[in-house]
Amino acid sequence: MANMRSKINEIYALEQLSGGDSAVHRRHPLVKLVSAFVYIVLVVSFGRTEFLRLAPFVFYPVVLMALSETPWRIVLGRMALALPFVIVAGASNIIFDRATAFTIGGIAVSFGTVSFFSILYRTFLCVTAVLLLVAVTPFAQLTDQLRRMHVPDVFVTLFEMIYRYIGVLLDEASTMYTAYMLRSTEHRGLQMAHMGSFVGQLLIRSYDRAERVYAAMKCRGYGGAARRGARRKLQPADYAYLALTCLPFILLRLVDAAAVFERLF
Amino acid sequence: MIEIMNLTVVYPDGTKAVDDVSLTIRDGERVALVGANGAGKTSLLLALVGVLPLTSGTVSADGLELSKKTLSDIRRKVGMVFQNPDDQLFMPMIADDVAFGPRNYGLGEEETARRVDGALDMLGISHLKNRSSLKLSGGEKRMAAIATVLTMEPSALLFDEPTAFLDPKARRGLIGVLKKLGQSQVIATHDLTFAEEVCSRTILLKQGRIYADGDPKILFRDEKLMDDCGIEAIM
């Protein structure tokens, strides 16, 4: 029960940070979205073995985290949720691509291993960039901006609804699980024999609760159609943010900094 | 002002939740809706904001009659505070929840921010602005739920069991807040001492119909009347 409650808190922990007032928080949502998008595209565009060239890209999340005063524990904690999927996906590279890429102290390192760590590192960079975007931009501003960028309304609304109702579902599950455990003689968790009725009840209760939440939304003017907030003008500081977060990384993508450095010295 | 004329609400299964109710709530008046479970209190409130469809009769707020066309305007004029604040607080942060109404009504961010700060300040919960509702106490949630409605600057407020989930201190705080608000208020409640302290008028409901309408100080002490409605009188 406490675990489930803490999961609900975890889900919304990052969003609570978005109400901050740092220089990054104050930037226009458009530049934050574009900056994160450009960064992710650049990270993904590298070849699977260009591990060293990707190294400087770690500065983006590190600097943003410092400037926005985002606690790294929260970001890394949520980042860890993606790891199992990436490890499973990346492990196949180690198995199938065994050609030697280089040797370290007589030990051959395969292209598959390099590729595995490259996938791991790139996932870390991309997921962290998205988590930071959420941590420094209020959810309503984010979805408003997505609509302004002509992302289909149905996708944005779906995204909003899933986001809102996941808390409702977990909350109902948590309450039911507590009631179940308090009357369970063995205290060993949910038994298979009760799983069907538990899940069925959870569905019905969540549906009922979702109806009440929707009624409350309707009472405050929600009609299914998205309403946009007032258009916010881009300030010089927004352009500066965009330039500072995009240009260095575009340059690092176009120019092999290590090779240039080698040639110079 | 809210005017209800011959209002009837029938559920799809044939249950008559509200039966031929006619009622006028004057500007600034605080009215308690009292009745046993299933008497039709919540159904009546939900019908007033068009969440439940009217089977027959009319409802109007400030002269505007409730219809599909006017639904949005009516909901702006009449704010509903639900029984369970968790149903009303669904955004990641209280500030977003409180801003939800003004944003839906297309108000600018500056005006929305002004209203959000004003409502939170008035209820003394400015410190909750950037908190998640998941971490609030029952009393704090209740205040936040009221703030979500106040930002729409309605002329009337509907409360469904506002003292549910509250401890005595939070209940006392709520009484102070409700007395401070200038809007007309319709409060569905089982809490008779609360209703007596806050409201100048009480409507007793029985099986969806108005059974009595009068001063709570008199009605709540009428043992026979209260017993007929399935409620325990104040001794």
CATH superfamily of B2-228: P-loop containing nucleotide triphosphate hydrolases (3.40.50.300)
Q: CA-to-CA distance for A38 and A245, rounded, in angstroms? A: 9
Per-residue pLDDT at A122 exceeds 70: yes
Query: With pLDDT > 90 as the criterion, what percentage of chain A qualifies?
Result: 24
Which of A19, A213, A230 has the CB atom closest to B90's CB atom? A213
Closest-approach residue (CA) in chain A for B93: A16
Q: CA-to-CA distance for B230 and B205, rounded, in angstroms? A: 10
Residue B224 Cα, gap to closest chain A Cα (Å) = 36
Per-residue pLDDT at A204 exceeds 90: no
Which of A19, A217, A232 has the CB atom closest to B93's CB atom? A19
A263 versus A213: which is more confidently predicted? A213
Collect all residues of chain B within an 8 Å Cβ-Cβ radius of residue A168.
90
Q: What are phi and psi of A32, to 5 degrees?
A: -70, -40
pLDDT at site A133 = 93
B100 touches A: beta carbon within 8 Å: yes
pLDDT band at A144 (very low <50, low <70, confident <90, very high): confident
Per-residue pLDDT at A150 exceeds 70: yes
Q: What is the pLDDT of residues A205-258, one digit of tens each?
A: 888 888 888 888 888 888 766 566 667 788 999 999 999 999 999 998 898 877
Mean pLDDT check: name the lowest of A125-139, A157-171, B22-36, B86-100.
A157-171
Collect all residues of chain B within an 8 Å Cβ-Cβ radius of residue A18.
92-93
Q: What ranges do the domains of chain A cover?
A: 13-138+230-255, 152-224
pLDDT band at B156 (very low <50, low <70, confident <90, very high): very high
Per-residue pLDDT at A94 exceeds 90: no
pLDDT at site B79 = 92
Q: What is the pLDDT of residues B107-126, one digit of tens each?
A: 888 899 999 999 999 999 99
CA atoms lying within 13 Å on the CB side of residue B86: 17
Q: What is the mean pLDDT of residues B167-179?
A: 91
pLDDT at site B100 = 87
Q: What is the mean pLDDT of residues A62-91?
A: 86
Q: What is the pLDDT of residues A7-59, one digit of tens each?
A: 666 667 777 788 788 999 999 999 999 999 999 999 999 887 787 888 889 99
B174 touches A: beta carbon within 8 Å: no
Q: What is the pLDDT of residues A127-136, one digit of tens each?
A: 999 999 989 9
Q: What is the mean pLDDT of residues B57-62?
A: 94
Say if residues B81 and B157 touch (Cβ distance below 8 Å): yes
pLDDT at site B74 = 92
pLDDT band at A194 (very low <50, low <70, confident <90, very high): confident
Residue B187 Cα, gap to closest chain A Cα (Å) = 17
Over chain A, what is the mean pLDDT?
84
pLDDT at site A7 = 64
pLDDT at site B227 = 92
Q: CA-to-CA distance for B85 and B143, rounded, in angstroms? A: 9
Closest-approach residue (CA) in chain A for B91: A164
Per-residue pLDDT at A163 exceeds 80: no
Per-residue pLDDT at A4 exceeds 80: no
pLDDT band at A61 (very low <50, low <70, confident <90, very high): very high
